[in-house]
């Protein structure tokens, strides 16, 4: 893991054009020093989203999304902080420097960068071959026949590896790569007699990319029936790990983050077909079983993962295992795919898109799917068969934890087994408590450091929280009067986390709140930039500031009174005094608001 130097991050912030970056997601128009537009983070009809290019930040008055250019790219393009910094650095030509990288790590990084370049060039070579040569005519025909448009194929960089033994061996070496390097990324293989030859020949190539769109390997499909195997992946290597790779993640992550849902399929062409049909949250796993690594990665973007995989017995076991390992972080749903049909075939058929969307909508939770599959396989005609089915289904139910879904499933199973739900309940009691992590608790909002964590903007603030932020914004807008109020106010006046975070900083920096603001403190940065935005938006009368202060003061007294009541505090005379004070303030508020 490499840390960027503070200068690098600063340069990225300075060089990146926030208006340009944001404009890719919403139309902005200038309004004085600001740009305004419809918020790209929530649905709205009138613009409440503004960007301040001079300070390099954005803020939405509607959903309170806010931050700088890096944050925007993180949220909108679902990248981790380091990936967002690198993506912007690349785009705006900032040279990235890393903090105290030890020489070995640096060497490793350079080595990997070279391997990545070799793959990138191979991908470009294959793609050019597909579109520009007669050799690829059959491959083009096949792809067209499957209904893929050129746009879709190009978006995914689909290509064709010619049948010659040494296309990549020769071209790679000409480009300055050693045979060892080409072999390390699985592009060439060593023959029995010691010579090297191309790993992919006469195959349609699908570049496997990481989240940032860098090629890490290839999947390749045979073009003639005698070629074995039908699908061939890059060999595992430094860049490609089958258990981690997700085909299409680079193009799907935005849609996944926006909708909170990922659709997992098995085949490259399934992903192509789904994206072409507008279901852009589709990715594919390399092989039928989804791994815990892949679930974790998707869980960084999605709350719900819908599996449209071959759900045979082995596949089901693997899914359940993965769910156990991944814990309750994501909700796993299963689509009951019609037998013998994969998503690509389904979508190619008349009305297929409609059918697939219906299947998605009807997806059920994995344990429910599993339990139903057990019942479908069981011999329910005899008591022994029903006993066996019950034995099999109890662990599935036990792993679910006590949920309403489970309760409903228990009645369903009791019905099918022609028994009393109480019997299943007793068996469940005997099966012990659910496996830790398998229970369905929702994920806490904070994710691992470094994991991409795109979140839909949080809940709407309460009236009290709005009042507090408005008050602090007014203090910024009128610093001469505001200084006095800010010094008077304490934590006991504030209930909202945002205002409480902002207060200590404002006590020191009311005149120039943005100057010297530590950017690494994301929460502080977000709340201060929001307050500055609010301060600029509306002119403030000093009377409004005073009124606002009185309301906060009354709130503090209310909380104090109810605390005393709750705790049955002694000294009732103090409570009475508080109530008098409250009445005075209420009067003051009444005269001022009329």
Q: Shortest Cβ distance from residue 459 to Zn ion (Å)?
A: 13
Closest to Zn ion by CB, 25 vs 242, is 25
Rounded least distance, CB 593 to Zn ion, Å: 30
Closest to Zn ion by CB, 4 or 59: 59
* DSSP, res 456: -
Nearer Cβ to Zn ion, position 50 or 548? 50
| Least distance CB 81 / Zn ion (angstroms) | 21
Nearer to Zn ion, 64 or 468 (CB): 64
Per-residue burial over 169-197, b if 16 or more Cβ lie within 10 Å, else e, is bebbbeeebeeebbbbbbbbeeeeeeebe
Query: Can you say whether residue 195 is alpha, beta or left, with left for phi > 0 and alpha for psi between -120 and 50 degrees?
Result: beta
Shorter beta-carbon distance to Zn ion: residue 357 or 460: 460
Residue number with CB closer to Zn ion (63 or 527): 63
| Cβ nearer to Zn ion, comparing 42 with 214 | 42
For Zn ion, the closer CB: 39 or 477: 39
Rounded least distance, CB 38 to Zn ion, Å = 9
Q: Are 164 and 202 in contact (CB under 8 A)?
A: no
Q: Which of 358, 354, 356, 417 has its CA nearest to residue 390? A: 417
Which CB atom, from 40 or from 159, has the smaller least distance to Zn ion? 40
Q: Are 129 and 121 in contact (CB under 8 A)?
A: no
Helices 366-377 and 313-326: crossing angle in degrees, nearest 10, is 150
Smallest separation, CB 19 to Zn ion (Å) = 17
- Token pair of 272, please? 């192509």
In the complex, the smallest distance separating the C-beta of residue 506 from Zn ion, rounded to whole angstroms, is 24
Q: How far apart are CA 343 and CA 279, in angstroms?
A: 11
Beta carbon nearer to Zn ion, 27 or 377: 27
Give the shortest CB-226-to-Zn ion separation in angstroms.
57
Give the contacts of 69 (CB within 8 A, at least 6 positions apart). 12, 13, 16, 18, 21, 56, 57, 88
CA distance 252 to 262: 8
Exposed, middle or buried, 449 (CB in 10 Å: 0-12/13-18/19+)?
A: exposed
Name residues whose C-beta falls within 8 Å of residue 370's C-beta, 6 or more positions apart in sequence: 316, 319, 320, 396
* DSSP assignment string, 25-40: TS-EEEETTEEEE--S
Cβ 303 vs Cβ 261: under 8 Å = yes
Helix (H, G, I), strand (E, B) or coil at 50: strand
CB of 213 to Zn ion, least distance (A): 27
Q: Which is nearer to Zn ion, 42 or 121 (CB)?
A: 42
CB 303 within 8 A of CB 331: yes
Measured from the CB of residue 16, what is the shortest distance to Zn ion in angstroms?
21
For Zn ion, the closer CB: 38 or 544? 38
Beta-strand pair 215-222/261-265:
unpaired
User: Angle at CA 241, nearest 5°, toward 235 and 243?
Assistant: 120
Q: What CA–CA distance (Å, rounded) separates 57 from 68? A: 4
d(CA 44, CA 38): 7
CA angle 123, 236, 323 (to 5 degrees): 110
Which is closer to Zn ion, CB of 345 or CB of 536?
536
Secondary structure (3-state) at 240: coil
138 φ, ψ (degrees, to nearest 5): -65, -40
Question: Would you tell me which residues interact with Zn ion (CB under 5 A)?
Answer: 39, 41-42, 60, 62-63
Nearest approach, Cβ of residue 525 and Zn ion (Å): 17
Tell the smallest beta-carbon distance from residue 526 to Zn ion (Å).
Answer: 13
Q: Which is nearer to Zn ion, 62 or 421 (CB)?
A: 62
Question: Nearest distance from residue 62's CB to Zn ion, in Å?
Answer: 4
State the minimum distance, in angstroms, from the CB of residue 39 to Zn ion: 3
Measured CA distances, 428 to 198, 387, 394, 405, 414 (Å):
56, 14, 6, 15, 13
Integer Cα distance of 249 and 216 in angstroms: 12
* Least separation in angstroms between CB 174 and Zn ion: 52
């Amino acid at each position: 893991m490499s840390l960027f130097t503070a200068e690098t991050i600063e340069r990225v912030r300075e060089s990146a054009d926030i208006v340009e970056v944001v404009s890719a997601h919403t139309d902005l128009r200038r309004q004085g020093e600001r740009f305004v537009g419809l918020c790209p983070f929530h649905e709205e009809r009138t613009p409440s989203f503004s960007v301040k290019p001079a300070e390099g930040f954005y803020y939405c008055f509607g959903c309170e999304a806010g931050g700088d250019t890096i944050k925007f790219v993180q949220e909108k393009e679902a990248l981790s902080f380091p990936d967002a910094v690198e993506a912007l650095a690349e785009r705006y030509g900032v040279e990235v420097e890393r903090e105290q990288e030890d020489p070995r790590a640096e060497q490793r990084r350079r080595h990997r960068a070279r391997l990545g370049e070799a793959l990138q060039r191979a991908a470009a070579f294959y793609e050019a071959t597909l579109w520009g040569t007669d050799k690829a005519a059959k491959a083009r025909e096949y792809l067209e026949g499957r209904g893929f448009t050129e746009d879709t194929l190009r978006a995914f960089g689909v290509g064709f590896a010619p049948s010659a033994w040494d296309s990549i061996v020769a071209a790679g070496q000409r480009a300055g790569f050693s045979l060892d390097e080409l072999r390390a990324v699985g592009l060439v293989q060593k023959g029995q007699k010691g010579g090297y030859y191309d790993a992919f020949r006469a195959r349609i190539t699908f570049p496997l990319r990481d989240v940032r769109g860098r090629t890490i390997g290839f999947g390749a499909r045979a073009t003639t029936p005698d070629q074995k195997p039908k699908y061939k992946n890059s060999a595992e290597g430094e860049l490609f790990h089958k258990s981690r790779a997700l085909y299409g993640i680079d193009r799907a992550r935005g849609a996944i983050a926006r909708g909170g849902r990922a659709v997992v399929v098995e085949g490259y062409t399934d992903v192509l077909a789904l994206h072409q049909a507008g279901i852009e949250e589709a990715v594919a796993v390399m092989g039928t079983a989804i791994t815990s690594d892949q679930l974790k990665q998707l869980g960084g973007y999605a709350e719900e993962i819908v599996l449209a995989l071959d759900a045979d017995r082995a596949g089901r076991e693997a899914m359940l295992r993965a769910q156990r390992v991944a814990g309750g972080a994501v909700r796993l749903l299963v689509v009951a795919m019609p037998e013998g049909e994969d998503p690509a075939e389904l979508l190619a058929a008349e009305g297929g898109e409609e059918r697939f969307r219906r299947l998605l909508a009807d997806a059920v939770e994995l344990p429910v799917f599993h339990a139903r599959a057990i019942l479908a396989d069981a011999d329910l005609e005899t008591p022994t068969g029903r006993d066996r089915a019950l034995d099999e289904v109890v662990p599935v139910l036990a792993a679910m934890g006590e949920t309403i879904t489970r309760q409903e499933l228990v009645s369903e199973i009791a019905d099918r087994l022609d028994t009393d739900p109480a019997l299943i309940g007793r068996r469940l009691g005997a099966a012990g408590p659910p496996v830790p992590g398998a229970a369905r608790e929702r994920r806490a909002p904070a994710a691992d450091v470094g994991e991409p964590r795109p979140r839909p903007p949080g809940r709407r603030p309460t009236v009290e929280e709005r009042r507090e932020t408005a008050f602090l914004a007014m203090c910024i807008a009128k610093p001469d009067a505001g200084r006095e109020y800010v010094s008077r106010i304490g934590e006991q006046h504030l209930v909202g986390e945002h205002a409480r975070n902002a207060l200590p900083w404002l006590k020191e920096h009311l005149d120039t709140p943005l100057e010297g603001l530590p950017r690494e403190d994301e929460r502080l940065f977000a709340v201060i930039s929001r307050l500055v935005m609010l301060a600029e938006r509306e002119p403030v009368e000093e009377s409004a500031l005073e009124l606002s202060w009185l309301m906060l003061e009354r709130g503090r007294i209310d909380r104090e009174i109810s605390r005393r009541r709750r705790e049955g505090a002694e000294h009732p005379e103090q409570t009475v005094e508080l109530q008098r004070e409250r009445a005075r303030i209420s009067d003051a508020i009444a005269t001022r608001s009329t």
